Amino acid sequence: MLITVTQEDINNGNRRDASSCPMAMAIRRKFPKVNPSYINVVSRCCNINGEFYRLSNPAIRFIDKFDHYDLVKPETFTLIKVK
């Protein structure tokens, strides 16, 4: 599944916050019917309404850079559903 983080997500995202980081905000757009409190991005995976997805390496690097105040730009990432 592809997730696109926009500049608006970056501008409004919160560092080190599993439910309101730019990646979580982008995932919310992909799953508009899921309660935002059921979308969490932690470490190398994310939980979307009880289903788990593995983050691609570029997504992990993006989150790490964002959390450490490095410059990040809008980008599209892959999430892989864990079976």
pLDDT of 9: 98
pLDDT of 55: 95
- Beta-carbon count within 10 A of 7 CB: 11
**Residue written as tokens 């690097």?**
61
- pTM value is 0.91
pLDDT of 59: 95
- The half-sphere exposure of 46 on its side-chain side, counting CA atoms within 13 A, is 33
pLDDT of 43: 80
pLDDT of 83: 79
Question: What is the rounded CA–CA span in Å between residue 56 and residue 77?
Answer: 7
Query: Is the separation of the CB atoms in 18 and 42 below 8 Å?
Result: yes
pLDDT of 69: 97
Query: Is the separation of the CB atoms in 59 and 2 below 8 Å?
Result: no
- Ranges under pLDDT 70 in the chain: none
